[in-house]
Structure 1
Amino acid sequence: MTSKSKNDDPSINSRPASDIIQQLGLTPHPEKGYFKETFRDGTTDSNNRSYSTQIYYLLEGSDDTSHWHRVDATEVWHYYAGAPLSLELAAPIANSSSSGAATDRKHDTKLATLGPDIFSEQQPQVVIDRNVWQRAKSLGNWTLVGCSVAPAFVESGFEMGPPGWEPGNK
C-alpha cells in the first residue's frame, strides 16, 4: 500500500506552478519559463558534442510567451502536465533573403498545440526540425513539457531572435 501525505492531491494539474518548480528543481530559462537538464548523453560525436539532451520546461500563464528562438538540432517537445501549450513555428523559405540573415527571410508559419486531448487537435509530442524558429505559450496557468534535442543542445547552436522580431509570411 502506498502512503500519502496529508497534502497529496490526486492531480498534479491542481497544484500551483511554484510547487512544480520547487519539486523538480527548475531554474529560470533565458527564453522565459523554468527548466532543468535531466539527461546529457555520455556518447559524443567527433566534435565532442553529446548525441542528445533532455530537459523539463515549464511555462507559466498565457502572458508568459517564450522568445522567438531556434536551435541547430532537431527538437521533440513532449507534453507532461498542466494546460495545453501553443507552439508557433516558422521555417525559413529557401532563397527568400536579400541579405542572407536568417531573420530577414520570409517564413512558412504554422501552429501546433501540445497537450493530452488527441481528440481535440492536441498532440502529445511535436517534432521541430533544426533551425526552425519557435516560441511557446501556455494556454492556461502553467504547462510542464519535456524537450529532447539531438544532437545535444549546445549554447553555440542556440539563437534568440532580436527584440520585437516576428517571422515574415509568404
Structure 2
Amino acid sequence: MKAADVIKALGLAPHPEGGHFREIHRDAPPGGGRGAVTSIYYLLAAGERSHWHRVDAVEIWNFHAAGGSGAAGLALSVSPDGKVVETHLLGENLTAGQSPQAVVPADWWQAAALADASSDGWVLVGCTVAPAFDFAGFEMAPPGWAPTDWKS
C-alpha cells in the first residue's frame, strides 16, 4: 500500500504543519467551552515533515502502521526550551529501540519526520491532545527555526 492509498482510504487532508490528517474525535462539553480531548490520524510520507511547532496541551503520539521503507519508524523530536532536544523513535520494532508511544508535554516544541530520510515509505500515527486541540493554542515556529541543539 502506498501513502496515497492510505490518504484516500482514511480521507486525510493536508495539515498546516505538514503531512496529512483527519480529526477522528473531538470532545464537545454540553455547556460549550474547550473539550477534554481530541484525536487525529496523522500520516507523514517520504519528503514530508511536521515542522517545529508547539501546542498548549499534552500531545500523545501512538504508532499505527508503516509502509514501504517507512518501517524505519518516525523520529519525533521534542524540546522543552528551544535549546535541548530529545528524539523518540516511534514504530513497531521494539528490539531496534522503537516505541509504540511518546508523550509531548504542553508547550514543548515538537517536529517529526520519517526516521530514514531516504525512505520511500510512510508512517501513520494517532495524535491525542488533552485538553482538546484548539488552533488558538497552536504556535508554528518561524521558517528555518530549530532548537539550538537540533541536528536534522
Normalising by structure 2, report the TM-score.
Answer: 0.87
Counterparts of 1:1-170 in structure 2, within 5 Å, are 15-43=1-29, 48-61=33-46, 63-82=47-66, 83=70, 84-92=73-81, 106-139=82-115, 140=119, 141-169=121-149
Letter in 2 for 1:90: S
Structure 1 residue 81: deviation in Å? Answer: 0.5
Larger strand percent: 2
| Structure 1 ranges of 4+ moved more than 6 A | none
CA distance in 2, matches of 1:90, 1:48: 29
CA distance in 2, matches of 1:47, 1:135: 31
Structure 1 residue 117: deviation in Å? Answer: 1.0
CA distance in 2, matches of 1:39, 1:73: 16
- Percent of pairs identical after alignment? 45
3-state DSSP of counterpart to 1:18? helix
Letter in 2 for 1:110: E
Q: Is the 8 A contact 2:28 2:34 kept in 1?
A: no
Letter in 2 for 1:30: P
The count of aligned residue pairs is 140
Normalising by structure 1, report the TM-score.
Answer: 0.78
* Larger CA Rg, structure 1 vs 2: 1
3-state DSSP of counterpart to 2:50? coil
Structure 1 residue 47: deviation in Å? Answer: 7.5
Name stretches of at least 5 consecutive residues in structure 1 with no aligned partner.
1-14, 93-105
Structure 1 residue 107: deviation in Å? Answer: 2.0
CA RMSD, Structure 1 to Structure 2 (Å)? 1.4
